């Protein structure tokens, strides 16, 4: 019997996802379940989304036991999806054809829309983990989407502060950042619809954010042009990271969009990339102060890290040129 539940954390005011059936999921080195011809994927595809075979959340959740009085247990209702970005077993978002990258963006938008229709789903979280150091269990390039029965704490916090900023200044904080940082030193790259920036308030080494120029809330609202622009800036971002050191850089990519129930006009969709390498041979850990207190320490001026990224971006463009790709936007010198 496997259980899927969410347990209330009474000290932090958020939910933990508890799933007991996942301990048996495959861990590396087994035959790739995502390569073409595998039972899950079949043949004749370029980008596909599937249900995760070992989901943390379920559409038929069973609760293990009632919660003690100081907490609460609810069914772990939700969906976990996998988006397989290429039939190739190795690679990253910068080795996929531009056409398929646009398709990838379209799938994320379509999944957001479909998952949002479920009355129980409050939040759709698309993310991508890359590299063994990040804990990836299957090497084949893929992203994941969690459709959650609650709004994650970080999103609640962003929503609260975007709303507060709007109340105090009458504008949107991300719109203001895009305006003020435009043409400035922290911007690495920008195209018609998005900017790539190492934020003033970065927490991880080489952390970068992608901000849309237009103020909107959900991936399902991307215009056809914006889908192309987003594919372009994702390609540039990942190619830049993979040119930073002499190896393919592990990272987490998270798409922060608005909750899918109710109206959240203050929220401005964006994408965040977290990297853990301070140097080629030195990692940044979320240790006592970071994880224990959520107080991040950054061991260099973010403005100096941007210089390293700009150098990497130049190398990336050369490499992409050899793959016949020319960026749609411009690099900030
Ligand atoms: Zn594979
Ligand atoms: Zn905005
Ligand atoms: Zn965010």
CATH number of the domain where residue 229 is located: 3.30.428.10
Report the pLDDT averaged over residues 199-213.
Answer: 97
Dihedral sign for Cα 239, 92, 279, 294, please: positive
In the chain, the number of structural domains is 1
Asked if residue 31 has pLDDT above 90, the reply is: no
For the entire predicted model, the pTM comes to: 0.96
Task: Tell me how far the alpha carbon of residue 158 lies from the centroid of ligand 3, in angstroms.
Answer: 7
**What are the contacts of 300-306 at 24+ separation with CB within 8 A?**
300/205, 302/186, 302/198, 302/199, 302/200, 302/202, 303/185, 303/186, 305/198, 305/202, 305/205, 305/206, 306/185, 306/186, 306/188, 306/198
Task: Tell me how far the alpha carbon of residue 41 lies from the centroid of ligand 1, in angstroms.
Answer: 10
What pLDDT is recorded for position 135? 85
What pLDDT is recorded for position 24? 63
Task: Tell me how far the alpha carbon of residue 174 lies from the centroid of ligand 2, in angstroms.
Answer: 5
Residue range of the domain that includes 249: 4-331
| Average pLDDT, rounded, for the chain | 95
Using DSSP's 3-state secondary structure scheme, residue 178 falls into helix
What pLDDT is recorded for position 137? 82
Of all ligands present, the nearest one to the C-alpha of 201 is: 3
Using DSSP's 3-state secondary structure scheme, residue 8 falls into strand
Residues with catalytic roles: 142
Asked if residue 29 has pLDDT above 90, the reply is: no
Task: Tell me how far the alpha carbon of residue 156 lies from the centroid of ligand 2, in angstroms.
Answer: 16
In this structure, how many other beta carbons lie within 10 angstroms of the beta carbon of residue 299? Answer: 10
Asked if residue 80 has pLDDT above 80, the reply is: yes
Calculate the dihedral angle through the C-alpha atoms of 225, 226, 228, 234, rounding to the nearest 10 degrees: 170
What pLDDT is recorded for position 23? 61
Question: In this structure, which residues have their CB less than 5 angstroms from ion ligand 1?
Answer: 32, 34-35, 89, 140
Residues 6+ apart with CB under 8 A from 231: 98, 101, 102, 104, 105
Asked if residue 248 has pLDDT above 90, the reply is: yes
């Amino acid at each position: 019997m496997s259980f899927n539940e969410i347990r209330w954390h009474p000290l932090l005011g958020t939910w933990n996802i508890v799933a007991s059936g996942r301990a048996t999921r495959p861990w590396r080195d087994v035959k790739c379940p995502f390569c073409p011809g595998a039972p899950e994927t079949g043949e004749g595809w370029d980008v596909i989304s599937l249900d995760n075979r070992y989901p943390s959340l379920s559409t038929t959740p069973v609760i293990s036991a009632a919660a003690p009085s100081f907490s609460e247990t609810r069914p772990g209702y939700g969906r976990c999806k996998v988006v397989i970005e290429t039939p190739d077993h190795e690679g990253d978002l910068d080795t996929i054809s531009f056409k398929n990258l646009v398709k990838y963006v379209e799938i994320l938008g379509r999944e957001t829309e479909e998952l949002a229709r479920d009355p129980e789903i409050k939040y759709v979280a698309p993310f991508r983990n890359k590299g063994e150091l990040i804990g990836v269990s299957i090497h084949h390039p893929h992203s994941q989407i969690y459709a959650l029965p609650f709004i994650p704490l970080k999103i609640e916090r962003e929503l609260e502060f975007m709303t507060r900023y709007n109340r105090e200044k009458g504008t949107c904080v991300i719109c203001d950042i895009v305006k003020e940082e435009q043409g400035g030193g922290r911007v690495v790259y920008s195209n018609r619809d998005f900017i790539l920036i190492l934020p003033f308030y970065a927490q991880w080494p080489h952390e970068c954010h992608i901000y849309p120029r237009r103020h909107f809330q959900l991936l399902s609202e991307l215009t056809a042009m914006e889908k192309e622009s987003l594919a372009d800036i994702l390609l540039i971002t990942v190619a830049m990271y993979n040119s930073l050191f002499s190896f393919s850089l592990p990272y987490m990519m998270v798409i922060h969009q608005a909750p899918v129930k109710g109206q959240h006009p203050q929220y401005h969709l964006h994408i965040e990339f977290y990297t853990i390498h301070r140097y080629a041979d030195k990692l940044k850990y979320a240790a006592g102060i970071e994880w224990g207190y959520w107080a991040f320490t950054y061991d260099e001026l973010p403005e100096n890290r941007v210089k390293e990224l700009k150098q990497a971006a130049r190398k990336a463009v050369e490499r992409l040129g050899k793959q016949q790709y020319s960026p749609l936007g411009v690099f900030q010198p």
